[in-house]
Amino acid sequence: MVKVAVVTGGTRGIGAAICEVLHEAGHTVAATYYGNDAAAKHFTERTGVPHFKFDVSAFGACEAGLAQIEKDLGPVDILVNNAGITRDGFLHKMTPEQWTEVLRTNLDSLFNMSRLVVGGMRDRGWGRIVNISSINGQTGQVGQTNYAAAKAGVIGFTRALALEVASKGVTVNAIAPGYIDTDMVRAVPESVLEKIITKIPVKRLGKASEIARAVAFLTDETSGFITGTTLSLNGGQAMV
Ligand code: CAA
């Protein structure tokens, strides 16, 4: 059945691959973004998936943005909370802004977006929420106390919400990608990234499309018995 899907941070990297796979599955897809206008324009030209610009870290902006999406496309059945940023630095040098920006974008956004669509999913008796966590929320990572805290929080949020909506036909799951070949990972200093790749048993970065496949699976009509889980897709780097 055709559903309306919203993917935050959907115009680049993992989010763009998720939009493409949901679009190919026949869903009506909306990609949200906040930073890069040129990338959003190019994404829509390439895929035909419309983009909506708003700040997922701000509740009011999400209210307005989702109202526009629902007006244009209809009520949201599938939400993929993918938007995320890094502001890496050792804790002894980290600024309050580095901490707050990451927590707001990577974790508060889950509250903002899910809060605004979960009522409708409950009422209609069907919904799929997928939250993108990270291997670094499971294992920790040098320079990422902010990011690891937010991504670990994503897993707790997923489990708690999954329990709340399990009897309403709504599933909530997390995916914890390892190091995927995206702009975010390519921003890691080259010498550090080389060290990281040597520790990945499959000896390569993951592809965004490999994460998107898992989102397609979790959001499928037939996946109603899978809820509250975290799928770790990391090339064997952490078997959690
Ligand atoms: N793994 C292993 N060693 C690391 C490391 C990592 N991720 N990050 C830093 N180090 C090591 C460095 O190699 C260096 O070691 P040596 O002294 O032996 O050379 C030491 O820590 C200090 O590092 P820097 O000299 O780079 O110190 P800095 O203060 O200039 O910068 C830093 C510190 C900001 C943490 C920088 O090293 C950095 O950006 N590291 C990458 C952190 C990282 O892995 N981020 C993941 C981003 S991708 C992502 O988050 C997506 C996802 O979900 C997986």
Give the neighbor-by-neighbor strand order of the sheet with 4-7: 51-53, 28-33, 4-7, 78-81, 127-132, 170-177, 230-233
Q: Domains in the chain and their CATH numbers?
A: 4-233 (3.40.50.720)
Per-residue confidence (pLDDT) for residue 120, from 0 to 100: 98
Q: How far is the CA of 210 from the centre of ligand 1 (A)?
A: 25
Is residue 154 over pLDDT 90?
Answer: yes
Render pLDDT for 116-133 as a digit per residue (tens, 0 to 9): 999 999 999 999 999 999
Ligand 1 binding pocket, CB closer than 6 Å: 86, 88-90, 134-136, 141-144, 147, 179, 184-185, 188-189, 192, 195-196
What's the CA dihedral at 148, 234, 15, 19 to 10 degrees?
-150
Cα separation, 137 vs 120, in Å, equals 30
Q: Residue 56, exposed/middle/buried by CB under 10 A (0-12, 13-18, 19+)? A: buried
Q: Residue 100, exposed/middle/buried by CB under 10 A (0-12, 13-18, 19+)? A: middle
Percent of the chain, pLDDT > 70? 100
Reported as a pLDDT band with limits 50, 70 and 90, residue 216 is very high
Is residue 1 over pLDDT 90?
Answer: no
DSSP state of 55: -
Render pLDDT for 85-116 as a digit per residue (tens, 0 to 9): 999 999 999 999 999 999 999 999 999 999 99
Annotated active-site residue in 33, 34, 147, 179:
147
- Helix or strand or coil: residue 28? strand
What values do phi and psi take at 37, rounded to 5? Answer: -60, -40
Tokens of 210: 């490999």
CA-proximal residue: ligand 1, atom 2 (nearest): 192
Q: Residue 1, exposed/middle/buried by CB under 10 A (0-12, 13-18, 19+)? A: exposed
Q: Which residues, in sequence order, are CB contacts of 224 under 8 Å at separation 6+?
A: 169, 171
Q: How far is the CA of 195 from the centre of ligand 1 (A)?
A: 10
Q: Is 147 a catalytic residue?
A: yes
